[in-house]
């Protein structure tokens, strides 16, 4: 272990308010302009994956090149919090052997990855009526107290030290979720 890793452990033990946690996991299936039938199939896939009811996202404006019109259904998503998000994240990382690309992390403690076929998630069976869908997973790692920045009443600014750094988020995933942070994935993971 390097000196920085030891400092993260000591820092988290010395002050509970510095201990990072997973605030939420957002699972998204974007369909574009394929139609309402495909959106409903993606809706059912997300519901079977997470056990929660997804919401349908609509286009905000017309994009002629893509064949989109305003208020047209283009995607579906689910937001998980608490124990549900940790359980789903463990399942979603399983097709990659618990590996996450280093470039997937940003400087605010968030990371994202995509799964090209939903049937790669353990416990999911292929249903010929639904087909195969890929999905994106976005994870937000925060410290306690960051909520004051986004709450409706009595909103306050927070300092840069309140955010989880990229290195700290990687260290958190390595130690809590036993994930391996890699520079490059092997071909079989794509």
pLDDT per residue of the chain (190 residues) written in tens, 0 to 9: 555 556 888 888 888 888 999 999 999 998 876 677 888 899 999 999 999 999 998 888 888 887 778 888 888 999 999 999 999 999 999 999 999 999 999 999 899 999 999 999 998 889 899 889 999 999 999 999 888 998 999 999 988 888 999 999 999 999 989 999 998 877 655 4
Q: CA-to-CA distance for 125 and 121, rounded, in angstroms?
A: 9
Q: Which domains does the chain have, with CATH numbers?
A: 20-177 (3.30.1440.10)
Which residue is associated with the tokens 């957002």?
A: 26
Tokens matching residue 40:
């409903």
Cβ neighbors of 110 (< 8 A, separation 6 or more) are: 138, 139, 140, 141, 169
Q: CA-to-CA distance for 35 and 55, rounded, in angstroms?
A: 16
Tokens matching residue 19:
């201990």
Sequence length of the chain is 190
């Amino acid at each position: 272990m390097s000196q920085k890793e030891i400092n993260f452990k000591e820092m988290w033990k010395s002050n509970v308010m510095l201990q990072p946690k997973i605030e939420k996991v957002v699972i998204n299936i974007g369909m574009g302009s394929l139609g309402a039938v495909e959106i409903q199939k993606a809706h059912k896939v997300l519901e079977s994956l997470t056990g929660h009811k997804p919401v349908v996202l609509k286009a905000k404006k017309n994009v002629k090149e893509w064949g989109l019109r305003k208020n047209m259904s283009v995607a579906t998503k689910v937001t998980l919090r608490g124990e549900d998000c940790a359980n789903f994240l463990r399942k979603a990382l399983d097709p990659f052997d618990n590996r996450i690309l280093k470039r997937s992390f940003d400087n605010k403690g968030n990371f994202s990855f995509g799964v090209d076929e939903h049937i790669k998630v353990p416990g999911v069976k292929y249903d010929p009526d639904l087909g195969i869908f890929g999905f994106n997973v976005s994870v937000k790692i925060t410290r306690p107290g960051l909520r004051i920045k986004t709450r409706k009443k009595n909103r306050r600014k927070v300092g840069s030290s309140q955010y989880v750094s990229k290195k700290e988020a990687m260290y958190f995933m390595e130690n809590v979720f036993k994930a391996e942070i890699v520079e490059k994935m092997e071909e079989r993971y794509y």
